[in-house]
Amino acid sequence: MKILVTYKIPFYEEVVESLKESVTLGKINDLDETYGGMLCLLTDKITKEVLDKGKNLKIIANYAVGYDNIDVEECKKRNILVTNTPCDEVNEAVSEFTWSLILALARQLEPAANFAKNVGYRGWEPDIFIGTDLKNKTLGVIGAGRIGSIVATKAAAFGMKVITHSRTSNTKLEEVILSADVVSLHVPLTPETRHMINSKTIFKSGAILINTARGPVVDESGLLELLQNGSLAGAALDVWENEPYPRPELIEMPNVILTPHIASATKSARLAMGKTAVANLVAFSLGQTPPNLI
């Protein structure tokens, strides 16, 4: 089976070794009827039109945990298997990065660091960059999957209480958000979660929002309103509604941190993602059920 790999992913040689001569490194546009498998990125939009070109595709291994870039329903109709890359290394990397953002936002790390490097620090002053402490505050975790659960576990280190909301829990989304000092999103992007956070969302006074899930879970124009009228004290967004284009107004706000979709960007996570994606392709080519079937 010929396999198209759409990007020279980190640790490429090591990762694709077990697929050997069946692999072609190319672009999504190179997809044609000669390919039976594909390893693609979350920036590859796998639409009906793309699937029409890959007439003989049998399996798509997405190099990501989220798979909202793929028309999974259409793949099902065409009997194309889709797999993703959930793994401990990614869960840890994303949850550690989530905490980096929480701490950075609570303590004004970005404006303070910029001030120190660029503006001219005159000596210790008691009243600059005063932040919020986390101890005894409440973390609201939205989505209680693997990543959300690990984020919640780490809250104990900071003496925070945790409340969670998920599709299957009996807590109400509105109540969790209203009671949390820090709201962190860990849901997949689906029609139900799109714009889950919007101008009508009511946050606790002084609350901050963290998004390391998918940009469109937050309606950014609504978010902007909440930030501008003080209903939300700050936001840290690793994912945006229209990547790679940040909403211009957000760039200007000192209480907003924008990072370029790097929550899973650690060496061990990238290596594990590659190995997981390839393991799914290998299992399929051996006639086995791929371990991370969606």
Q: Which residues are catalytic?
A: 214, 243, 261
**Of the residues 31, 50, 65, 139, which one makes contact with ligand GLV according to CB under 6 A:** 65
Tell whether residue 280 is a contact of ligand GLV (CB under 6 A). Answer: no
Closer Cβ to ligand GLV, 285 or 292, answer by number: 292
Sign of CA dihedral 136, 162, 93, 98: negative
CB of 193 to ligand GLV, least distance (A): 14
**Minimum CB separation from ligand GLV for residue 51, in Å?**
21
The answer to whether residues 273 and 292 touch, using CB atoms and an 8 Å cutoff, is no
d(CA 132, CA 105) in angstroms, rounded, equals 9
Residue 64 binds ligand GLV (CB under 6 A): yes
- As measured in angstroms, the least distance from the Cβ of 68 to ligand GLV is 9
CB of 130 to ligand GLV, least distance (A): 13
215 binds ligand GLV (CB under 6 A): no
Nearer to ligand GLV, 166 or 292 (CB): 292
Nearer to ligand GLV, 130 or 286 (CB): 130
> How far is residue 84's CA from residue 66's CA, in Å, rounded to a whole number?
7
Alpha carbon distance 254, 49 (integer Å): 42
4 φ/ψ sector (left φ>0, alpha ψ -120 to 50, else beta)? beta
Stretch that binds ligand GLV, among 11-19, 53-61, 63-71, 176-184 (CB under 6 A): 63-71
The pair of three-digit structure tokens given for residue 149, joined into one six-digit string: 């659960």
Residue 114 contacts residue 153 (beta carbons within 8 Å): no
Distance CA 100, CA 193 (A): 24
Nearer to ligand GLV by C-beta: 206 or 291? 291
Which residues ranging from 240 to 279 are in contact with ligand GLV (CB under 6 A)?
Answer: 264
129 neighbors 112 (Cβ within 8 angstroms): yes
DSSP string over 254-289 = TTEEE--S-TT-SHHHHHHHHHHHHHHHHHHHTTSP
Residue partners of 168: CB distance under 8 A and separation at least 6: 144
Residue 165's nearest CA partner among 150, 184, 181, 137 is 184
Least Å distance, CB 62 to ligand GLV, is 8
Segment lying near ligand GLV (by CB under 6 A), choices 29-37, 60-68, 148-156, 159-167: 60-68
Binding mask 36-55 for ligand GLV (x = CB under 6 A): ------x-------------
How far apart are CB 25 and ligand GLV at their closest, in Å? 20
Which H or E run contains 150? helix 146-154
The piece of 45-53, 62-70, 155-163, 284-292 that touches ligand GLV (CB under 6 A) is 62-70
Residues 114-153 close enough to bind ligand GLV by CB under 6 A: none
β-strand partners of 21: none
Binder to ligand GLV among 66, 145, 222, 246 (CB under 6 A)? 66
For ligand GLV (CB under 6 A), the number of binding residues is 5
- Binding residues (CB under 6 A) for ligand GLV: these are 42, 64-66, 264
